[in-house]
Structure 1
Amino acid sequence: MKLAALVSFWMVGLLAWRLGEAGPALAALLIAAATAFVFTRFGPALAAGAILLAVGGFIVGHQDRDGQAIPALPFDGDFAGQVIEEPLSQGRFNGVSLEVEGADGWEGRSVLLTLPAFADVGYGDRLRVRGGIQPLDLTRPYERYLAEQGYTGRSSFPEEYQVTDSGGGSPVKRVLLDIRREVSGGVDSVLSEPASSLARGMLIGERADIPNDLKRDLSAAGTAHLIAISGQNVALLAGAVLALLGGLIGRYSAGLVAAVMIVLYALLLGLPPAIVRASVMGGVFVLAPIFGRQSNAPAGLAITVVAITAWDPGVLNDLSFQLSFASVAGLIVLAGPFTRVINGRLGFEPSSPLGTVVELMAVTVAATLATMPIIAINFGTLSLVSPIANLLVVPAFVPMLVASLVAWPASYLPAPLDAVTAWPAWLLLEYFRVVTTAMAALPGALLRVDDFSSSHSLPWYGGLALLGWVAGQTVADREPRARGLAWGPAVLVPVLLVAGVYLWLAPASSSDHLRVTFLDVGQGDAVLIETEGGARVLVDGGPDPERIAEVLDESLGFGDRRIDLLLLSHVAQDHAAGAIRVLERYDVGAVAWNGLDAVGPLGDAWLLALADTSSEVHVVAAGDRIVVDGLVLDVTWPSEGQQPARANDGSLVVMARHGDVDILLTGDIEATAEAGLLATMADLEADLLKVAHHGSAGSTLDEFLAATTPRFAVIMAGRGNPYGHPRAEVLQRLDQAGTEVLRTDQDGTVSFASDGARVWLRD
């Protein structure tokens, strides 16, 4: 109690500098009131020491605030720097943390450098950059967030950049990053999407690959913290391990196991400062029984917080630190009393399966309630379903983490042992996804609370403290009555139930007809053709590497990575970015492409992927024929050696023939290529047409439609795309031609079937 009083003075003094001009006055009032209480309760000596701690906290915090200046002037010109963190892939660009050299006013400062996707830049590289650096604008929420992460400026898409040296930085960090890459690649090779991206987010904090709709569901359900580098995760890991193992091997042994898992988890995440701090606080919680009693945990946490904030007062701005502290404090104040009261009232033995379930629920509720105000303040949202959603998924967190980690070595096993070993991870991650999606879909799941502030959180935390005190004072008055429940049935029954659901939902692997599926990948093309015999041809991969993995895995089923032929119409972002991912992730038998315009970072990445693949690679042109399990693919454009003026007009045009059914795939060709095709006098009549260039006005002209006479046409475009695709004039031409039009921006994924005599739209 005395230590808690002293620490509270330190924190009040430290927080005063954050409150602006009113800070000192408000702090003085709080300190005066608290001093009167301490003086009457503990005596003048402790009161004097408390005042000194408060003054010290204010001085340290004030000095830290003065050291956080951001340069006032921008910079434009040549500068150098070293990459100090592993670049973060964010779809069409990479975020690179650069420590600047050779720029006046910016020497030694960290800036966020934005480079195109597929830029070959890694941790420890030294760069020479030509471009501008803009100071962060702290009135913008995102740039204020960047400042809290240690950045002072941004440099977006510089004119030029060049890697001048590699291999710098910390050798230990390079080793940890190599391990992270191995884990990421191994997990991705055996788990289907979105389970793969969820597992990588959980294990190593890779969130960029998670589908956007699932990210929104995670936020709405309040479960996003489970797949992020979060201090709250460390606290939940500690509490869940204690709950799961405490009844089996004892609290002391479980505490040691939890401490070891926290250390391993921090190493796997790459030892970022936020996780190191969270690990220290989580370690204090799990090791408290070993060094005395669980009642030592509050004192240990208090000492740890003072040490961390004394070393770096600015950490108070760090969201991860706030979540870590709140989570651990919630576990200390609430989890234990909740567990004892509920087990006592229900008569459950603490070491029994039901007692363990109660403790897991208490850990979940305690951490969730303790962090909800922080999330509301920082994001302006409050998930009303978060407590229930977390109750359902957090007990599975440790099994998900362990099973996902096991999926890494499973990737080195031969098929089908790799898929069998990784299947438990997929099962648990699919459960996590289904629960999250279902909870997020409930009406009113996410509440906007833009005006929620620190003043609103005070009564919340006061109420939680009172709740914890009342629960701690409650004495259970019933004898335990659930003692003999075995662990085996308690675990086996839900596993068998989930396995049954999986078998019920598993997609069929064969068909009596040829299937042509126009995959909804956004503003881009990806067409999957599956023959009656099970052969697969993928034409293009769309613009988003993770989206193509998600939709392909959904179509192919768990553990199936076979693509017999990957055909790339041309090297463009909206066709090739996903194709590179397919080459890296799937078992591709052969690749065919036009051999043209592989330039820039995207072209370099495509050529590197071709060099690394074991697949057969063919450059094809008009007149070439490819036969896959009876499916005939006739290339009709461009001619060999032809170099069109526009890259789009170099797209491969392929007629897929299945018996008497013809399917024309036109890439991104425009009017010039359409005229060239008509001039070749090739037979272009088709039952099904993939409309060129996403329905742009310069394609699918009247003359071309007259030659193709399609019954069906599919336009592949992204919802709300900035190009206005498909254009109204194209829709009008198709209507006048009597063609039935399907659109991925409106209809989502569109699938057809063919028996060789006719083609029809599948339900």
Structure 2
Amino acid sequence: MPLLWLSLFFLSGILLAAWTHFPVSFWAGVAGGSLFFWQLLHRLPGRRLRWLSSVKGTLKLPPFLLLVALGAGALRYQLSRPAFGPGDLAYYHGGGEVELTATVSQSPEPRDTVTLLRLEAESLQQAGQTPPLKVRGALLAMLPPDQGWHYGDRLILRGTLTPPPESETFSFRNFLARQGIFSYMAYPQVQWIESGAGNPLMTAIDALRQRAHRVVEALFPPPEAPLLDGILLGLDKGLPPSIEEAFRRTGTSHIIAISGFNMAVLAGLFAGLFGRVFSRWWATLIALTAMVLYTLLVGGGAAVVRAAIMSGLSLIAVQIGRRSSGLNSLLFAAGVMCFFNPDLPWDVSFQLSFAATLGLVVYAARLEGFFRRRVERWFPVAVAGPLTALVAENVLFTLAAQAFTLPVLFYHFGRISLIAPLANFFILPAQSSLMIFSGLAVLVGMVFLPLGRLLAAPGWALASYTLHMVSWLGASPGVELVAGPGRLSWVLAMFAILLLSLKISPAWLKSHLPRLAPATGLVLAAGLAGLLWRQVLASGDGALHVIAFQFEGKTPLLIRTPAGRAVLINGSERASQLSAALGRWLPPLNRSLDAFILNEPSSGTLKALPETLKRFPPQRAFLAAALPENATGRNLRESLQIETIPLQNGDTLDLGQGVRLQARACNPQGCALLLEWDRFAMLFPGGKAPEELPDPQTGMLLLTPADLKTTPLDTWKTHFQATILDAASLPPDGWLHLQTDGTRLWVSRSP
């Protein structure tokens, strides 16, 4: 138990330091001062304050020592913050073209159109500079595909160093920074120097992996070959997009990617497989050895190693039979890993590894025991034991891990598979046999390929079954809930429910249910009533609502008509912001748009739309200008599964019950939009200058752009004699809400 609390406070110190940004001296004072006062109070002659330095109850360690662990975690985080100097590669970002000598430090990562190389820098030479400077630092280089690079190749790269790029839905820069990579080079000129400059052991492992990959492609046809590449070797980039989407929709992606969830399930499968032949501890030892070998086979990347460590600890905890010991080991391992890399708590792979292992530690034995007791009521012990083992390995352990990874997946991706338990029930029983047969075929094929082909038939059949089952289940309607990225408060509430459920037993329910029933019924009824009232009010309350958002200088608009129709106008830079905003203002049971209108096709208004319109699909789409011929424009065309309608000057859209939206002052760059209902009129400029807009009507409202750099607010007031609503005055991520019954107007805004 002391180990648990010390590890927990060390991890809490890392999180606290990231959120508070206090300097190193502050946290050094917290850790050192706490250690000093702990020793000082321990030597006091009286007892009034000595309790702060003595072992206490449940903690089993001095409370003052917790502050030492907290300060140590925060201090470790602050000391890990990068500070680049002339000897660091990142110091030369944006300094023009450079000539860099570096060694490929990991296996190349092939994609459909590019190859990603991770390199370790040795020296750098700028234009006109001699001799080269010795530098240190990791680099990610984007190169054309199929260039034949290997781990340990020593290369010269000529190009421009920049920070890694970012997109509206994913921070590639933060993702790489957590792995110690701060520099990026796109399509440099590359000159090969020599091979074999890497670690000899890693060179041999990489050669073994590449040899196994070629044998997989020789033994199995696609798409079974890419699936087995992912399962056996961790190469998960060769499946068609439709099949990858089916795996995501069915909650079975852990099968094709070496993740924390995958390793946690594999740990249970290995333990069950060897447990049928060997004693309990021998089975655990052999299972741990198999996981180490598997980790080396798939490349031994940082994420895989973390997942293997946590999954191995779960095996030990289950064999010990004490959840508290398992929790001690889990938190201690997390603390040690975060000591070496304090950025791990923000890594999705680490979060999934931790959550899946936590689920197995606290729930696996509980679920297995519960199921065994129920089975023994109907079957003899000789049947109940094997049946429980079968169900536990293929269903219960999966449910335990999946229950705790669900909040993490919901927070980051906003997608929850509703069919995951059923899909895993049909698919997981085949995976252990699939790995055994296909792995055996590959091993034999690496020695003698014709014999490997003879042994590949069972593996191919099981892989084909997996793909067909996933594709069939994934094609079913309504198999997943897409709600947009979740909030941290929701995630904490979900974890709290999972952990509190450990206290609930049949005996507890029997004694407390009579007292809980009335209160529980009242709470459920109140919650249901609140949900229904929100649905009713958001679906149509007889009023016209206009909600303007302020996202990084862009002003997307949401119109809700008196009949409950929803119209989105324009977009923003980040899909997470726009999706969350729509989720708050649209009915909870109707996540769709009646229409989408693009009246300002600039790059800033387009980036968030492909992902957002997948989550909130529109029934109709109107374009006031042609989409740009770039990647963002192509993504938006693909996300719109309906035919787009051009919007021209004077076109009027009937939104129901007399609400009209008219296109004004159109040109190739877009249109202004005039919203009218009864005596209410509001104009949205859509990128137009004041002199381009039509003359205002009496009582008309005008919403200015959130970015007033081109046209200041005073210019709007001078050229447009109307009531001006200043979107630029809204706080970041803020909103402005206008509600009208056609004659009266109510205005509210975010604080």
What is aligned with 2:107?
86
What is aligned with 1:352?
385
What is aligned with 1:48?
64
What is aligned with 1:409?
443
What is aligned with 1:725?
none
1:324 to 353, 357, 369: 353
Are residue 133 (structure 1) and residue 183 (structure 2) matched? no
Change over 3 Å in CA distance of 1:64–1:394 after alignment to 2: farther
Aligned 8 A contact 2:360 2:401 in 1:
yes
Change over 3 Å in CA distance of 1:88–1:362 after alignment to 2: same
Aligned 8 A contact 2:303 2:349 in 1:
yes
Tell me the distance in 2 between the aligned counterparts of 1:379 and 1:367. 18
Deviation at 1:359, TM superposition (A): 1.0
* Mapping 1:103-122, distance limit 5 Å: 107-122=135-150
Secondary structure of the residue that 2:70 maps to in structure 1?
A: helix
Aligned 8 A contact 1:127 1:165 in 2:
yes
Aligned 8 A contact 1:248 1:351 in 2:
no
Deviations 1:32-79 (A, max 9, x none): xxx99x997447953122222112111112222355996583242322
Are residue 453 (structure 1) and residue 487 (structure 2) matched? yes
2:124 to 99, 102, 115: 102
Secondary structure of the residue that 1:127 maps to in structure 2?
A: strand
What is aligned with 1:303?
332
Change over 3 Å in CA distance of 1:448–1:198 after alignment to 2: same
Aligned 8 A contact 1:240 1:363 in 2:
no
Aligned 8 A contact 2:261 2:402 in 1:
no
Residue identity over aligned pairs, in percent, reads: 27
Secondary structure of the residue that 2:99 maps to in structure 1?
A: strand
Deviation at 1:417, TM superposition (A): 4.6
Deviation at 1:416, TM superposition (A): 6.8
Aligned 8 A contact 1:259 1:287 in 2:
no
Tell me the distance in 2 between the aligned counterparts of 1:471 and 1:155. 57
Aligned 8 A contact 1:95 1:112 in 2:
yes
2:212 to 167, 179, 183: 183
What is aligned with 2:366?
337
Aligned 8 A contact 2:116 2:143 in 1:
yes
Tell me the distance in 1 between the aligned counterparts of 2:419 and 2:353. 21
Change over 3 Å in CA distance of 1:290–1:387 after alignment to 2: closer
Change over 3 Å in CA distance of 1:472–1:49 after alignment to 2: farther
Secondary structure of the residue that 1:97 maps to in structure 2?
A: strand
* Mapping 1:311-710, distance limit 5 Å: 311-347=340-376, 349=381, 352-360=385-393, 361-411=395-445, 417-470=451-504
Secondary structure of the residue that 1:123 maps to in structure 2?
A: coil
What is aligned with 2:226?
197
Are residue 222 (structure 1) and residue 251 (structure 2) matched? yes
Tell me the distance in 2 between the aligned counterparts of 1:246 and 1:286. 12
Tell me the distance in 2 between the aligned counterparts of 1:472 and 1:461. 21
Q: Considering only aligned residues, what root-mean-square deviation do their CA atoms show, in Å?
A: 3.4
What is aligned with 2:9?
9
Are residue 156 (structure 1) and residue 186 (structure 2) matched? yes
Change over 3 Å in CA distance of 1:263–1:416 after alignment to 2: closer
Secondary structure of the residue that 1:331 maps to in structure 2?
A: helix
Are residue 123 (structure 1) and residue 151 (structure 2) matched? yes
What is aligned with 1:57?
73
Deviations 1:313-345 (A, max 9, x none): 122232222211111111011111011001212
Secondary structure of the residue that 1:451 maps to in structure 2?
A: coil
Secondary structure of the residue that 1:134 maps to in structure 2?
A: coil
Deviations 1:78-134 (A, max 9, x none): 222111111111122211112233056993222221111221221111111222122
Are residue 259 (structure 1) and residue 275 (structure 2) matched? no
What is aligned with 1:243?
272
TM-score of the pair, normalised by structure 2: 0.57
Tell me the distance in 1 between the aligned counterparts of 2:466 and 2:479. 17
Secondary structure of the residue that 2:498 maps to in structure 1?
A: helix
Tell me the distance in 2 between the aligned counterparts of 1:209 and 1:137. 24
Change over 3 Å in CA distance of 1:440–1:143 after alignment to 2: farther
TM-score of the pair, normalised by structure 1: 0.56
Change over 3 Å in CA distance of 1:355–1:133 after alignment to 2: same
Greater alpha carbon shift after TM alignment, 416-425 vs 199-208: 416-425
Deviations 1:153-188 (A, max 9, x none): 221112x21101211010000000111012111121
Tell me the distance in 2 between the aligned counterparts of 1:77 and 1:136. 17
Secondary structure of the residue that 1:86 maps to in structure 2?
A: coil
Aligned 8 A contact 2:104 2:151 in 1:
yes
Aligned 8 A contact 1:251 1:289 in 2:
no
Name stretches of at least 5 consecutive residues in structure 2 with no aligned partner.
Answer: 35-50, 127-132, 511-636, 639-751
Deviations 1:407-429 (A, max 9, x none): 21343687875433111111221
Secondary structure of the residue that 2:161 maps to in structure 1?
A: strand
Tell me the distance in 1 between the aligned counterparts of 2:83 and 2:411. 25
Tell me the distance in 2 between the aligned counterparts of 1:4 and 1:117. 47
Change over 3 Å in CA distance of 1:472–1:307 after alignment to 2: farther
Tell me the distance in 2 between the aligned counterparts of 1:42 and 1:201. 45
Aligned 8 A contact 1:201 1:207 in 2:
yes
Change over 3 Å in CA distance of 1:450–1:203 after alignment to 2: same
Change over 3 Å in CA distance of 1:351–1:298 after alignment to 2: farther
Name stretches of at least 5 consecutive residues in structure 1 with no aligned partner.
Answer: 477-719, 722-763
Are residue 74 (structure 1) and residue 94 (structure 2) matched? yes
Tell me the distance in 1 between the aligned counterparts of 2:317 and 2:59. 29
Change over 3 Å in CA distance of 1:133–1:446 after alignment to 2: farther
